[in-house]
Structure 1
Amino acid sequence: MDGTNFQEHPTHVAGTICAQGINPDVRGLAFNASLLSHDWTNDLAEMLDQASSGLLVSNHSYGIGQLSSLWFYGAYDSRARQIDNICFNNPYYLPVVSAGNDRNSTTAPGSIQINSKEGYDMIFGHGNAKNIITVAAVNQVLNYVNPSNVLMSPFSSYGPSDDGRIKPDISMKGVNVLSTLSTSDTAIGYMSGTSMASPGVTGVVVLLQQYYNQLYGNFMRSATVKGLILHTADEAGTTIGPDYRFGWGLINAQKSAIAIRDKNSSTNSKSVIEELTLNNNATYTKTITASGTSPLKISICWTDPQAPVSNNGDVDPTTKYLVNDLDIKVTQNGVDYYPWKLQGMSSPSLPATNTGTNNVDNFERVDINNPSGTYTITVTHKGNLFGNNQKFSLIATSDNLGTLSTSEAIKANDSKVDFYPNPAKNYIQINEKDKDLLINVYDASGKLVITSKLVDNRIDISHLTKGNYIANFINKKGEIKSFKFIKE
């Protein structure tokens, strides 16, 4: 902890996350968690240090920025870029950031932005990073029935980011939140702000990670838990799909937990949660069946590398900051279903569309109403992938799901590979003239399980479990080759 200068605001935030509940009225969401607090004077270095040590989540109920200028609003600035880099290099670390309270500002530059953009384009600084969750503040929802139950606060800052990304990401209660205060060990009180909303989301992240670890013995990548929260959100706002006010809607921790519980079940499955890797020039496909009255929702989420540049003074530049541009499409009987996408600052209040690919967001969701039958999920990418691959998380939910097949097909020269035996028990012999070929082997879920050079034209597979696998390599001519085999 930095110092002993206790203050009301951070004490209130901390209580929402993890107050033990000696007074049950102010028990935190993750009430058995431990908390490490810092002030903001050296936050980026402290974030890097903690993330490198295994920290899963951090809360940031503050804003830092030179708000004497309009360009800061919506900007992917140096702070946003640095945070994206920290997250990319620590793929289990997820910062949760308050969206800001500038929409009721009465002084410049906030008042100027409100008058010229009707409250949109007001998130600044690290709130515009790609790999975080940015949180809007709404009124309490005692009983969710439909989107009209979710009422926006008068202060919560609207997005988008300058490149049109969906910001904020999610909404949480941030009006009249009761929590701990610093004036005494028993002091409690009400506060309002996006600072009060983001710790609620932070507490949910802690609980979901704990639940996943209890069931499966490991933690989720940050992209998985972020994707799960956005995937299972309750609809909010006046239009279907995401918007720049509520993000993807009202957080629903119970739906997220149920998806974790039911994931990848062999019988009567209702959810798929998989952590995968897409290689450069590859196409990932998965065929599923779905039925029921609830929508079939299929999402991908990934931790994107930092953009090569940041904004340092331009007002509303057209620069796109997405580096590895993955795309998801779902197909049935020749009909393609695409993810939601918003229109950016050209038309920030218009409804989201789902008629084509999304080239700005690193969370994409496809919604299909009244699903019935077989659907093929296809994940591709534009351009070349930074690092030659991108880890991503795939999430699907419906009333009834069934998995038929999974593959990673290589889009380049898919020439025939001479190999044996198949089925194989201990090794695969690959008859290629080139030496020192690097072989990648993936299991049926698309997970990379072997990366190894050929030794005497063989690759050892003795440690693999029984099942279907796909392997690929690039020969000296630059040809990408792949083949499937069965491990006995």
Structure 2
Amino acid sequence: MKTGRTRPSTGFQPLEAAGLALFFLAAQAMADRSSRAQEAAGRAALEKAEAQAWAWQRGIEPRFDDGGNVIEIMALRNGRPLFNTTFNKNAAISTTANAVRNTAPFGVDGAGVVVGVWDGGSVMTNHQEFGNRVVAQDVVSAHYHASHVGGTIAASGIVTNALGMAPSAAIDSYDWNSDDSEMISAAASAAGQPGKLHLSNHSYGYISGWYYAYWTNPWTRRSGYHWWGDIHEDEAEAAFGQYNTYTRSWDSIVYNAPYFLPFKAAGNERNDNPTEGSKVYYSPDGGTTWTNAIYDASIHPGGDGAYKNGYDSIPYRGNAKNILTVGAVTDAVVDGERALTNVSLLGFTSWGPADDGRIKPDIVANGDQLYSCNQTATNAYATRSGTSMSSPNACGSAALLVDYYDDLFPGGAMRASTLKALIIHTADDLGRPGPDYQFGWGLMNTLKAGQLLADYSNGNPVRLTEAKLSSTNESNAYVCYADGSGPVRVTLCWTDPPGASTWEHDSRTPALVNDLDLKVTGPGGTFHPFQLSYEDPEANATAHAKNQVDNVEQVYIGFPESGHYTITVDHEGALQNGTQHYSLLTSGLMADQDGDGLPDNWEAGFFASATGGEAAADADGDGYDNLAEYIAGTDPTDPASVFGIAAVESLQPVDGHPPFVVEWNSMPGRVYNVYWTYHLKYLPFSNISGELRWPINSFTDSVEHVGFGQYYKIDVRMDD
């Protein structure tokens, strides 16, 4: 049985109901879940039957697999078919999973974590890399794509180069039929639900826009570029960026199972570009017959990468609010070490924005030449690329964080909004400053995420807060302290209710339902979250107003002044269903509940509680009050612990005068001044150093002084 710490109190914990009430609520939730799953299963079965009948009536096989991609008809919309397809094109180092996996102080490998994998077939249950850790939940054949995805997440490393991100994690494997209903049934809706999923991976999606098909393809029976949008000679029905019924469905699933986070491949649409003068095909009747034409960009739909210069190319469910959408980059590795300078976007990976301007993709991970399991034999392997590979790279890395959180807080679990915020908050920024529509929030950094969880568990509660707003609690404020030693970052994320779906092209109506707002107020003024511009997708992110489209908001202060900051989370308009849970993460801040200048963790460490010390009191009777002791970095309970010069060293004489080096113990966020005199009674001390900021901890006095002695003193204050 795992042992660990109690979660730090944030002062804004949700109220606990009585046990009997919780029992009835849980029973009702189970009944609601079963009803929703049955409804989704029936809808999916009906849609699939109609689509298969459509295909058979036209002499078309409903599923096609050429060994590189699998394509299957899933539904009809307005009499036209929708097809699922897989998204194919030293990953652990890129996401720093290697620095957490089986590595101190984390020591996690995914043991006890079950990851759901939905794909074009089953993960190969008897591959040598899995032992007995893969369970096929659907009776379907093992598939190369699913097996490769599963190996990227959880291969044990019998072949070293195929070691998965979380080599002891288990996998529940499903095919992509009835994925909505299966997700509803399997997803975790609370902590402490054995067998329920906190993570899933989906490296597939509906074909949208241009698709290159070979002559063996049963629907086209000819090689070339085929337009799978509406027959209109524009992009009106390509479904890129749309918040449509399929997108909305996944938001609904996560909203009703708020401890479940799906990882979704962004898609490989950006290089689906017909060339001028090439033969292209349209299907007036949705795939039975095809009309050919010579491609003319002035009259035909632009290539998915040429249209909007590659922006707005994420199809269907990748635009959901509550999931984590993953783009693909090259390896961030040079000579076996992580190197962000080596990262570049892969030419195929789809870019945002969503049609309402939301930030997509959320993050990027390695999708270039991943070596993993193949289904041709129990010891077979293959190399594949695509967002199909970057998504499990991120999902498997996240399994380590789920494992580590359970080690720290046994029986607990992060909300989906917390895990999503954690990954976004600690991602390494790439591309333009702040978020952008190419890299999202940046490259996943599992190590930094694990370090944040460790800091939280060690008594810095402001690092991670799960709380809620309601009709009786419409605003939460958190008073924190920044010492000015580094940037301040605050990230807010919430699992939003599903919005109103639309098939309208480029609808600018926000999909956001509960409009929460984040702001940080401090010595430098009021700071607002990042936001991007749909109208100018290549512009840098701005941060001068409220963000009214994203359900992830982040405030970043690059050079904060030291002092108190207030984080405010509130909302505009009514909250659907009366409440909204949220997750809040911070860096560069310390909690200070009583606003006395003494951080909570400092007070708790010396005075047993977060508000136990009084700033003006002199606890140890040494002549310095507690605030002065905190500023100096000394122990307020030990009269022998005082601030001063740690050492003075006389160096080899220069021009007949021996330079003196004055040393002290430096603290983050402090400013130091060194003073000199040759006579303690008749000559006042003069400042000879100017302001010296952390991490400077020494000063060399090379001036030749004339007098009877050399006397030095040093003072310290907070950096303002």
How big is the shift at 1:254?
0.2
User: Matches of 1:236 and 1:356 in 2, distance apart?
Assistant: 23
Contact 1:13-1:195 at 8 Å conserved across structures? yes
3-state DSSP class of the match of 2:175? Answer: coil
User: Matches of 1:111 and 1:138 in 2, distance apart?
Assistant: 24
Task: Say whether residues 1:360 and 2:549 are aligned partners.
Answer: yes
3-state DSSP class of the match of 2:206? Answer: coil
Query: Which of 477, 480, 488 is matched with 1:288 structurally?
Result: 480
Contact 2:517-2:569 at 8 Å conserved across structures? yes
Structure 2 match to 1:170: 363
How big is the shift at 1:270?
9.1
Query: Which of 446, 450, 473 is matched with 1:257 structurally?
Result: 450
Task: Say whether residues 1:274 and 2:465 are aligned partners.
Answer: yes
User: Matches of 2:516 and 2:470 in 1, distance apart?
Assistant: 11
User: Matches of 1:273 and 1:258 in 2, distance apart?
Assistant: 12
Structure 2 match to 1:84: 251
Q: For residue 359 of structure 1, what is the amino acid of its counterpart?
A: Q
Query: Which of 498, 505, 516 is matched with 1:306 structurally?
Result: 498
Structure 2 match to 1:208: 401
Change in 2 beyond 3 A, CA 1:274/1:110: farther
Give 5+ residue unaligned stretches, structure 2: 1-135, 189-194, 210-227, 230-234, 275-279, 281-299, 601-608, 612-720
Query: Which of 235, 242, 253 is matched with 1:75 structurally?
Result: 242
User: Matches of 1:328 and 1:405 in 2, distance apart?
Assistant: 21
3-state DSSP class of the match of 1:37? Answer: strand
Task: Say whether residues 1:64 and 2:206 are aligned partners.
Answer: yes
Query: Which of 78, 90, 94 is matched with 2:261 structurally?
Result: 94
Query: Which of 406, 409, 429 is matched with 1:235 structurally?
Result: 429
Change in 2 beyond 3 A, CA 1:257/1:248: same
Greater RCO (Cα-Cα under 8 Å, separation 6 or more): 1
3-state DSSP class of the match of 1:351? Answer: coil
User: Matches of 1:38 and 1:110 in 2, distance apart?
Assistant: 35
Structure 2 match to 1:297: 489
Q: For residue 13 of structure 1, what is the amino acid of its counterpart?
A: V
Contact 1:59-1:97 at 8 Å conserved across structures? yes
How big is the shift at 1:305?
0.3
Structure 2 match to 1:141: 332
Pick the structure with more strand per residue. Answer: 1
Query: Which of 139, 146, 160 is matched with 1:24 structurally?
Result: 160
Contact 2:329-2:368 at 8 Å conserved across structures? yes
User: Matches of 1:405 and 1:166 in 2, distance apart?
Assistant: 36
Query: Which of 585, 596, 600 is matched with 1:395 structurally?
Result: 585
Q: CA RMSD in A?
A: 2.2
Task: Say whether residues 1:337 and 2:527 are aligned partners.
Answer: yes
How big is the shift at 1:355?
0.8
How big is the shift at 1:405?
4.9
Contact 1:289-1:404 at 8 Å conserved across structures? no
Contact 1:138-1:171 at 8 Å conserved across structures? yes
Query: Which of 271, 285, 307 is matched with 1:116 structurally?
Result: 307
User: Matches of 2:332 and 2:482 in 1, distance apart?
Assistant: 31
User: Matches of 1:224 and 1:271 in 2, distance apart?
Assistant: 13
User: Matches of 1:4 and 1:354 in 2, distance apart?
Assistant: 49
How big is the shift at 1:148?
4.3
Show the 5 A alignment for 1:189-208.
189-208=382-401
Contact 2:332-2:341 at 8 Å conserved across structures? no
Structure 1 match to 2:139: 3
How big is the shift at 1:94?
0.4
3-state DSSP class of the match of 2:543? Answer: coil
3-state DSSP class of the match of 2:553? Answer: strand
Show the 5 A alignment for 1:401-440.
401-405=590-594
Structure 1 stretch 141-150 or stretch 208-217: which is displaced more?
141-150
Structure 1 match to 2:173: 37
Contact 1:103-1:110 at 8 Å conserved across structures? no
Structure 2 match to 1:456: none
Structure 1 stretch 22-31 or stretch 222-231: which is displaced more?
22-31
How big is the shift at 1:261?
0.4
Contact 2:271-2:304 at 8 Å conserved across structures? no
How big is the shift at 1:388?
1.2
Task: Say whether residues 1:225 and 2:361 are aligned partners.
Answer: no
Structure 2 match to 1:54: 196
Change in 2 beyond 3 A, CA 1:329/1:145: farther
